[in-house]
Chain A
């Protein structure tokens, strides 16, 4: 089995960054990109541009049109018998052959379709009109009305449609109009549900809330803001309900309760043909195929519309594409220094056995919808010594989390990773899943950034921790339970014997993060990758968790990669800081160095913008502008547009990361000439 997990859907750049869970701002960018009205136009566009839905639409129009003008085009009357020509196959006079009474199958299909489609039309219109209008009212106004209507729809949805129809048929002398009317009412329940949910969703969006607070009337809000957003839902539901109504109508026909013999209906034709299946199977074929294709056409239209609505392009396997060489990727990187160049000039990155972890030229790219590649992280090189704590620092969107996850090979499967990750001299990236299996949990462990979503939600905490203890240490159940309790005590959880019986939703974020740390320690690793381990926690809890990590590190002489945007954390805990900007390392220096004399203007600006180093009475320092998103990076220095020291040469060519006299590395052509002092 492969270890790749994500869907086969192609994911745009924003989605990819979001999936990598790293950086809030990039995800926000992706959301901003899609305007509220886009999906509605998208549905029609998708229906017109996808070949399957075009074929489906043509088929439906063709069949419905032909049935409408049946009296004009049908070669025979629907009941015109010819007992001399029964069970004939297709011929020039009978294009689709004849049935057991010698009636022309094509003519019967055309006439029968009129009954079928008028029933489908009636049921669909009633279901959609009733379901959508009540659903919108219910979802918008909420309250008691909503509760009552929802219970009614629950009841309607738990009644088998056909059984109720049979009761109605019993007392209405099998009147198909009343029956399809009832189908419409019954099918309005699922429509109601969908519209209610969609209205609720739109209702809670910011622009609607804003409209409400600015005093717009409910009617105006519904008309201007809510209804336009529900157009695509209407398309989807109409198609879905039409297919259900068609299946029901044909089912009634099969039970001979739609029309009186000898009049034709699609279901009745199947029923009659099934009686004579031993004599000839042919009369079954045309109605079965026409029914199946028509139901399929409705379902396909619904499916394509649904995909367009939820913003997916179905079934494109971008993840399987090979990682293309850098020259084919975003042109901004075309002039990037070659692998050899980078490593030659970076003598500090030579993996030896005493290096816990060495990254060399690690790049991560995700496929774009346009068919190209978007580089999120570009040529990252740094190393972590045994027992060393390295801080990976940068703004949101710099690629810190993507880098952290790339180290352990746990990025979504459509992400392509190149370069080299060495653990004590063993190459992991090229070793693939096998190499990773040997180190994950046992040698390198991981602590994520959102403890509340980091634990398996449906298992007791003790069970999940014990599972990893058993797997990593190969001990029995009883022993694993004992070790688990010790671990929970070790991460300073009060009452481990109570906590181990709890579920993740029953504990706080701080406790959850301790449990995650216990999971990480289960295999006695010597390197921990902690991806913003304290960002989601309260300030006091942050200090406790950080203190715990620090003391565990000292006690077990762990090496640690600490992803953070908090300079306080770097100062308190780290030995060295690697500063990232727009997917690249811009500076790599000891903590002392970076706090007293940062070499890169970005490190300096980031330090000045740190809330902890602000002066009372002064304006809060910020870095003007924002991180350029991947895909629209400048060709020169990526920080140049926000840099106060920028000169024309900065923007002419990509800047290399070069070692400096202080034993660090910096990516700035002016690093030696400008003296940067941090206040």
Chain B
């Protein structure tokens, strides 16, 4: 299994290079480049040209990218054009809230989604139909609408949870948890809907297969058939949707962080984008991609464990 995982790592590295290169390209091709951002609208052409050559912006694009990549692999992502702070430092400061948010949302989304999906694959009454419709609506309603609804109920009307801010887990686990309840719910509603739907479809398909009939007819317990045999066979399809859902969660986190004033990577991205702080924008984009790559790797491992056809060809 280890060689298989190493191969997956090798395959995912080009993704990092591709994303950083495309972002780099986008950021360099446009008029508002770094020199302009630093000097502002009133700079003279002479000043601009001088700073451009000082920053190395006159060199060919590929050379510039190569330099950036060479520094990046050693952990040097440059300095923010606005604050002068090293980008890697800014990222390190703000990664924890985002990780807490998306990891919790993924866990809540997967657990609730899979449970809901299994249940509705096995039942067909009014409750099951209601749950199917509910998860459909959950899938469609934008996260920020859910977030604002939650704020209206739990913060403005009931005063039971904080409206915004983030407390690190080291500072106070209770406050950390309280600060994340609403953001995590708002972010995971959509994920629950998608995962529940995929789980239901996959379970229904597996449960109509011949081996289920053989297991039932030979007296295996209902519990074991559903949770051991069918779920493991269905998990192969469910895992692939979880990867897609995670990418969506990262986009969602940008907005949810902004609503709940959580100082995470999403807020950093919004701020960097508004200030045209190019090294910071690039750094945030790369760290989001690293998160995607890491999650996909983790899912690949789970996938291999669930699907013996890969590890035991």
Residues of A whose CB lies within 8 Å of any CB of B are 1-8, 19, 21, 155, 157-164, 166-173, 243, 247-248, 250-251, 254-255, 257, 270, 274, 277-278, 281, 284, 288, 291-292, 295-296, 298-300, 303, 315, 317, 319-320, 405, 408, 410, 412-413, 437, 440-442, 445-450, 453-460, 464, 467-468, 471-472, 502-503, 505-506, 516, 519-520, 522-523, 529
Contact = CB atoms under 8 A, between A and B. Distances in A.
B229 A459 contact: yes
A171 B309 CA distance: 47
Given A277-B151, A457-B233, A458-B306, A6 B219 contact: no
B114 interface: no
B308 A270 contact: no
Given A2-B122, A277-B151, 15 more contacts: A1-B122, A160-B251, A162-B251, A164-B23, A170-B276, A281-B156, A292-B141, A299-B140, A412-B208, A441-B217, A441-B218, A454-B214, A456-B215, A458-B308, A467-B220
Contact of A171 (B30, B210, B212, B229): B30
B140 A459 contact: no
B270 interface: yes
B133 to A, nearest CB: 9
B132 to A, nearest CB: 7
B211 A456 contact: yes
A446 B210 CA distance: 12
B208 A453 contact: no
21 contacts: A5-B208, A6-B204, A6-B207, A158-B289, A160-B250, A166-B272, A167-B282, A172-B32, A254-B255, A284-B152, A288-B149, A291-B145, A300-B136, A300-B140, A448-B210, A448-B214, A453-B210, A459-B228, A467-B224, A472-B219, A522-B218
A171 B250 CA distance: 21
Nearest to A178: B30
A299 B136 contact: yes
Contact of B32 (A173, A284, A288, A519): A173
Contact of B276 (A4, A171, A453, A519): A171
A257 B221 contact: no
A410 B281 contact: no
A6 B220 CA distance: 17
B114 to A, nearest CB: 16
Given A6-B208, A320-B124, A247 B142 contact: yes
A276 to B, nearest CB: 11
Contacts of A412: 208
B18 interface: yes
Given A441-B218, A523-B219, A295 B124 contact: no
Given A164-B23, A167-B281, A516 B273 contact: no
A453 B211 contact: yes
A296 B137 contact: yes
Interface in B258-290: 258-259, 269-270, 272-278, 281-282, 284-285, 288-289
B204 A503 contact: no
Contact of B152 (A254, A277, A440): A277
B26 interface: yes
B254 interface: yes
B189 interface: no
A53 to B, nearest CB: 13
A529 B217 contact: yes
Nearest to A284: B148
Given A410-B217, A471-B219, A519-B218, A257 B292 contact: no
A251 B207 contact: no
Contacts of A450: 210
A222 B145 CA distance: 43
B312 A503 contact: yes
B124 A254 contact: no
Interface string B238-255: 000001100110111011
A171 B220 contact: no
Given A250-B142, A467-B224, A468-B218, A170 B277 contact: yes
Given A278-B156, A315-B129, A519 B214 contact: yes
A161 B139 CA distance: 17
A516 B293 CA distance: 41
Contact of A303 (B136, B212, B272): B136
Nearest to B213: A410
Nearest to B224: A467
Interface in B146-170: 148-149, 151-152, 156
B128 interface: yes
A167 B211 contact: no
Where chain B touches its partner, the secondary structure class is helix
Contacts of A3: 216, 222
B106 to A, nearest CB: 13
Nearest to A7: B204
Contacts of A448: 210, 213-214, 217
A99 B285 CA distance: 36
B19 interface: yes
Tell me which of B148, B222, B275 has the highest count of chain A C-beta atoms within 10 A of its own C-beta. B148
B27 interface: yes
A270 B148 contact: yes
A248 B220 CA distance: 48
Interface in B60-102: none
Contact of A166 (B125, B128, B270): B270
Contacts of B229: 456, 458-459, 464
Contacts of A2: 122-123
B8 interface: no
Contacts of A6: 204, 207-208
Interface in B1-49: 15, 18-19, 23, 26-27, 29-33
A158 B15 contact: yes
B252 to A, nearest CB: 8
B192 interface: no
Tell me which of A171, A445, A468 has the highest count of chain B C-beta atoms within 10 A of its own C-beta. A171
Contact of B269 (A166, A453, A460): A166
B215 A158 contact: no
B237 interface: no
Contact of B254 (A157, A163, A292): A163
- List the 4 closest A-B pairs by CB distance, nearest first: A441-B219, A446-B217, A8-B124, A171-B30
Contact of A251 (B139, B152, B255, B276): B255
A468 B219 contact: yes
Nearest to B139: A299
A284 B150 CA distance: 13
A163 B19 CA distance: 11
Contacts of B232: 458-459
A172 B218 contact: no
Tell me which of B15, B255, B293 has the highest count of chain A C-beta atoms within 10 A of its own C-beta. B255
Contacts of A440: 216-219
A295 B142 contact: yes
B233 A456 contact: yes
B285 A167 contact: yes
Given A167-B26, A284-B148, A445 B139 contact: no
B214 A155 contact: no
A405 B218 CA distance: 12
Nearest to A433: B222
A447 B215 CA distance: 10
B177 interface: no
B209 interface: yes
A167 B219 contact: no
B140 A468 contact: no
B147 to A, nearest CB: 9
B285 A163 contact: yes
B124 A317 contact: yes
A160 B292 contact: yes
Contact of A505 (B123, B139, B292, B309): B309
Given A163-B269, A171-B27, A251 B142 contact: yes
B121 interface: yes
A668 B284 CA distance: 82
Contacts of B210: 21, 448-450, 453-454
Contacts of A454: 210-211, 214
